[in-house]
Structure 1
């Protein structure tokens, strides 16, 4: 459920940023902005938030998301639209998305830390009991006496 909520928040923010920058300022169609937003949201969540963020820090994940956003917006924009070059709009949109990602990563990192703390608390609450006895090894004489009594 947490992943669905995170994906939904990320998609809405990505779509809003791309629609304002690409749709309003650079006249990209609604369908193209929607397609780029879907691809970028899924790729950035899987790569940036699930792979890079838990292994590194917020800065590295934000830089990775900037590069990913730039490449996805620029390459998809060039392939599904015609006309002017989308290099500058892709840079502007990627910077705006990276700004959002810096704050989004803090939320995701807090969720990951909370899960880890809960798992550690559960493992600390396990109580183990061991069995104890007076003798560590049986004596040979004791074994002989038991065998004679049993016969």
Structure 2
């Protein structure tokens, strides 16, 4: 149920945001904006919010969502419309999506972490693995030492 709420919130806010940017400013039809929002919302939720965000920081996930939004909006708008300024339209829409995604990630971190902690699972977040190095791992045989080491 938590994922459904988060996905519905993401879809509604993204639809309004993309309709303002793509529909009003760049003249794209509502049906095309709806299709772009649906594909972008599901893809960004799975990749950016469920895969990248738990394993990295909010800024890295936001940057990944910006790149994903730019590529998907540019590709889908080139298929669905005959617009001339697809790059500037895609950059403007991706910037708006990235700003929203930054705030949405804060919402997810606050609400999904509480839900996971109540269930008994712990979000590991940024794992930093260290390796241990010592001299004991490579022993030196007595017959290969130099005269100085003896």
- Shorter-normalised TM range: 0.7 to 0.9
Question: What is the rounded CA distance, in whole Å, between the counterparts of 1:115 and 1:4 in structure 2?
Answer: 13
RMSD: 1.4
* Deviations, residues 14-65 of structure 1 (Å, cap 9, x unaligned): 1111100110011101110000000000001000000000111100110010
- Give TM-score scaled by structure 2 length: 0.77
Q: Aligned pair count?
A: 121
Aligned residues of 2:2 and 2:112 also touching (Cα < 8 A): no
- The 2-side partners of 1:26 and 1:41 are apart by 20
Using the alignment, how far apart are the partners of 2:44 and 2:81 within structure 1? Answer: 22
Q: Which has the higher helix share?
A: 1
Q: Which runs of 5+ in 1 are unaligned?
A: 122-151
Distance 1:78 1:63 in 2: 23
After the TM superposition, which parts of structure 1 deviate over 2 Å for at least 4 consecutive aligned residues? Answer: 115-121
Q: Which runs of 5+ in 2 are unaligned?
A: 122-150
TM-score normalized by the length of structure 1: 0.76
Q: Is the 8 A contact 1:78 1:85 kept in 2?
A: no
**How far apart are the structure 2 equivalents of 1:66 and 1:18?**
14
Pair 1:103 & 2:66 matched: no
Greater Rg by CA: 1
Corresponding residue number in structure 2 for 1:59: 59
